[in-house]
Structure 1
């Protein structure tokens, strides 16, 4: 075993934090972070149907506002994890929508290239 190292049973000591000032606001969850998460989820779920572009774009705009408000609040607005997840899902929804559009364009170009050109006459016409 290791000599000289001992561990004491029980809980670890907790660092003492100074008391809060009575006029400090209580930490509150950011409502925009919840909205970003919901809109990002909708954007990710409907991204392949190209309908996810609108909620994903709104989610990214709200995320910018939520970050500014959280910074200005001095740490009293919580919900940064939910905000990050919502942003990731919004970007995923936009990527899925772009993938769907590119796929549809490629399919359309291939079908257009396979279509016959000019007028199709019957076999007995010169």
Structure 2
């Protein structure tokens, strides 16, 4: 007996890597690298929006669009960039609040108190 192979119809398209999956990976990488500088929030958001579209297209293509690994990695990197950006904003806000609570090192207690 011959091994059973998945037979393809001659008119079926060849499997192709999704260009959106590659774009999501690139934007996710950019977001992870620039996330600390708060500039990563924009590419991360765009990457997550494109990833949603790419998943729909991959599902509708019935297996003829590949690149789910690139898509998954790109989404992870985008979330990392988003979290880094949010953490930076929170840290800078806390530092700003602490600095405004004690401007220029002014102390409230009188002279002679150690």
Question: Which of the five TM-score ranges fits, normalised by the shorter chain?
Answer: 0.7 to 0.9
CA separation of 1:110/1:19 partners in 2, compared to 1, >3 Å: closer, same or farther? same
Q: How does 1:40-79 map to 2 (within 5 A)?
A: 40-79=28-67
2:24 is matched with 36
CA deviations on 1:24-78 (whole Å, 9 max, x unpaired) are 1110010000000000000000000000011000000000000000000001000
Superposition deviation, residue 20 in structure 1: 1.0
Decide which structure has the larger Cα Rg and report it. 1
2:112 is matched with none
Separation (CA, whole Å) in 2 of partners of 1:51 and 1:103: 15
Give me the TM-score of the superposition, normalised by structure 2: 0.87
Superposition deviation, residue 15 in structure 1: 4.8
Q: CA RMSD in A?
A: 1.4
Give the 4+ runs in structure 1 shifted more than 3 A: none
Give me the TM-score of the superposition, normalised by structure 1: 0.78
Describe the SS at the equivalent of 2:9. coil
2:92 is matched with 104
Superposition deviation, residue 115 in structure 1: 2.1
Separation (CA, whole Å) in 1 of partners of 2:51 and 2:59: 12
Describe the SS at the equivalent of 1:26. coil
Matched, 1:86 2:93: no
Describe the SS at the equivalent of 2:101. helix
CA deviations on 1:91-120 (whole Å, 9 max, x unpaired) are 00000000100000000000011127xxxx
1:5 is matched with none
Describe the SS at the equivalent of 1:24. coil
Describe the SS at the equivalent of 1:46. helix
